């Protein structure tokens, strides 16, 4: 019997956690669609690395907060591969600041990328997965979406919203055997956390029972497992990847 080649689309896959996720799917034998917004060269080097696992890979530029660009990305992905088995909504930004100084523009920008971007991608990819009657969607939330964080009202709201969106999508799509789950990473070593002050990192470490910061691969491994048949009865869940920070 001919084996179906599976395809995974990872947003924001040029660097950080998204890069590790795209490479983990490539290593697991999936063809990968590497979305990026600004990191063109980085995405190109992820493509080369993915291809070294013997799978097909393409890069597609799209701002996930722009519905038309997302639609064009999905059309291009379908032209190339004809199916999308896994969507990982990984793209995310932060614009931190205390609420009394936070502009509405900075509040909305973070919601637009983190929450509306996730909505845009689910909307267009779910149409394809509905026809396939299969699929796994994984949305990147954060422990901050569960417990809040001073200075991150916009980011925490977006990540809490991602959890509501995940559960609603899980209920809407379950009849077509499409599973939708979220991952809530704690502190993972990437560009996003590199900008934190040392004193904030030390404070954060005190709250992590496993006493170590996470690596992008820690999140990537959970994504591949969650998309696999081993997790076929799991939907609408939020999986914490945080060294025990929130329990």
Known binding-site residue numbers for NADP(+): 90, 155-159, 188
Number of residues that bind ligand NAP (CB under 6 A): 29
State how beta strands 86-89 and 57-61 pair: unpaired
Among all residues, which ones are annotated catalytic? 155
Q: Residue with structure tokens 């490479």?
A: 23
Report the C-alpha gap between 116 and 236 in whole angstroms: 19
Positions 55 through 94 that interact with ligand NAP (CB under 6 A): 63-65, 90-93
**Shortest Cβ 208–ligand NAP spacing (Å):** 11
**Shortest Cβ 2–ligand NAP spacing (Å):** 34
Based on the shown chain and the rule CB under 6 A, indicate whether residue 140 belongs to the binding site for ligand NAP.
yes
Is residue 142 within 8 A of residue 136, CB to CB? The reply is no
Based on the shown chain and the rule CB under 6 A, indicate whether residue 187 belongs to the binding site for ligand NAP.
yes
- Kindly indicate which of the ranges 51-59, 97-105, 182-190, 200-208 contains the residues binding ligand NAP, using the contact rule CB under 6 A: 182-190
List the one residue from 191, 198, 206, 229 that touches ligand NAP (CB under 6 A): 191
Based on the shown chain and the rule CB under 6 A, indicate whether residue 161 belongs to the binding site for ligand NAP.
no
- Kindly indicate which of the ranges 6-14, 24-32, 75-83, 130-138 contains the residues binding ligand NAP, using the contact rule CB under 6 A: 6-14
Based on the shown chain and the rule CB under 6 A, indicate whether residue 226 belongs to the binding site for ligand NAP.
no
List the one residue from 6, 8, 11, 160 that touches ligand NAP (CB under 6 A): 11
| Binding residue ranges | 90, 155-159, 188
**Shortest Cβ 151–ligand NAP spacing (Å):** 15
List the one residue from 6, 8, 34, 36 that touches ligand NAP (CB under 6 A): 36
Q: Looking at beta carbons only, is 3 or 199 nearer to ligand NAP?
A: 199
What is the rounded (10 degree) CA torsion for 43, 61, 186, 219? -60
**Shortest Cβ 112–ligand NAP spacing (Å):** 8
Residues of this chain that interact with ligand NAP (CB under 6 A) are 11-12, 14-18, 36-39, 63-65, 90-93, 113, 117, 140, 142, 185, 187-188, 190-193
């Amino acid at each position: 019997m001919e084996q179906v080649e599976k395809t995974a689309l990872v947003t924001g896959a040029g660097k950080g956690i998204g890069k590790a996720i795209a490479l983990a799917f490539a290593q697991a034998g999936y063809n990968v669609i590497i979305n990026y917004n600004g990191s063109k060269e980085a995405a190109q080097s992820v493509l080369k690395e993915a291809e070294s696992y013997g799978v097909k890979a393409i890069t597609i530029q799209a701002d996930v907060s722009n519905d038309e660009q997302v639609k064009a990305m999905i059309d291009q992905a379908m032209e190339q591969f004809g199916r999308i088995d896994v969507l990982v909504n990984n793209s995310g930004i932060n614009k931190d600041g205390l609420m009394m100084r936070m502009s509405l523009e900075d509040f909305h920008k973070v919601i637009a990328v983190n929450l509306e971007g996730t909505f845009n991608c689910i909307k267009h990819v779910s149409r394809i997965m509905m026809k396939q009657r299969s699929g796994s969607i994984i949305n990147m939330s954060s422990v901050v979406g569960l417990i809040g964080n001073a200075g991150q009202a916009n980011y925490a709201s977006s990540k809490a919203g991602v959890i509501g969106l995940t559960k609603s999508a899980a209920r809407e799509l379950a009849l077509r055997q499409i599973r939708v789950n979220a991952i809530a990473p704690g502190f993972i070593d990437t560009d996003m956390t590199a900008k934190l002050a040392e004193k904030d990192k030390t404070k954060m470490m005190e709250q992590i029972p496993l006493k170590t910061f996470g690596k992008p691969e820690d999140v990537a491994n959970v994504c591949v497992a969650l998309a696999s048949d081993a997790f076929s009865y799991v939907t609408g869940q939020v999986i914490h990847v945080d060294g025990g920070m929130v329990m």
